[in-house]
């Protein structure tokens, strides 16, 4: 029961570099999400996907790109990393979006942009 896995778990990168955070889920859930967690802000939705090839913006999408060519994968790319993107990134998945019984979270990816 692998669940939902993120990689890398920890990453330090330089300003201006491109970074991709990977997310893989084994449940065939339709919905997948990317959140960022910053102190004092709770979680904020970056992008979500309702199914393969369907993605949409959340609250804070600027500077990020996503794709979903397969149901099980939902990578998040920072095209040109900035210091303000230093954060903890959580991938999540669920069967029925926010209207299901629960949303499952990955272990998180700690990203530092220097």
Partner 1 sequence: ELKVEQNPLFLSMQEGKNYTIYCNYSTTSDRLYWYRQDPGKSLESLFVLLSNGAVKQEGRLMASLDTKARLSTLHITAAVHDLSATYFCAVVPMDSNYQLIWGAGTKLIIKP
Interface residues with partner 1 (CB under 8 A) are 31, 33, 40-45, 48, 50, 56, 58, 90, 96-99, 101-108
Residue whose C-alpha is closest to residue 64's, from 22, 110, 18: 18
Residues 55, 58, 59: CA angle, nearest 5 degrees: 165
Choose between 73 and 110: whose C-beta lies nearer to partner 1: 110
Choose between 42 and 83: whose C-beta lies nearer to partner 1: 42
Least distance to partner 1 from the beta carbon of 37, Å?
Answer: 9
Choose between 17 and 51: whose C-beta lies nearer to partner 1: 51
Least distance to partner 1 from the beta carbon of 104, Å?
Answer: 7
| b (16+ CB within 10 A) / e for 26-43 | eeebbbbbbbbeeeeeee
Least distance to partner 1 from the beta carbon of 4, Å?
Answer: 9
Give the phi and the psi of residue 59 in degrees, each rounded to 5.
-75, -35
3-state secondary structure of 6: strand
Rounded to whole angstroms, the Cα distance separating 44 from 78 reads 16
Choose between 14 and 40: whose C-beta lies nearer to partner 1: 40
Least distance to partner 1 from the beta carbon of 43, Å?
Answer: 4
């Amino acid at each position: 029961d692998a669940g939902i896995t993120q990689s890398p778990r920890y990453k330090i990168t330089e300003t201006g570099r491109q970074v991709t955070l990977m997310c893989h889920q084994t449940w065939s859930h339709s919905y997948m999400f990317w959140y960022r967690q910053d102190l004092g802000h709770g979680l904020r939705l970056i992008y979500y996907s309702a199914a393969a090839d369907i993605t949409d913006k959340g609250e804070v999408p600027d500077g990020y790109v996503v794709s979903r060519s397969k149901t099980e994968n939902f990578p998040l790319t920072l095209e040109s990393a900035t210091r303000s993107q230093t954060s903890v990134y959580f991938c999540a998945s669920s069967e029925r979006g926010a209207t299901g019984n629960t949303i499952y979270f990955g272990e998180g990816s700690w990203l530092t942009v220097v």
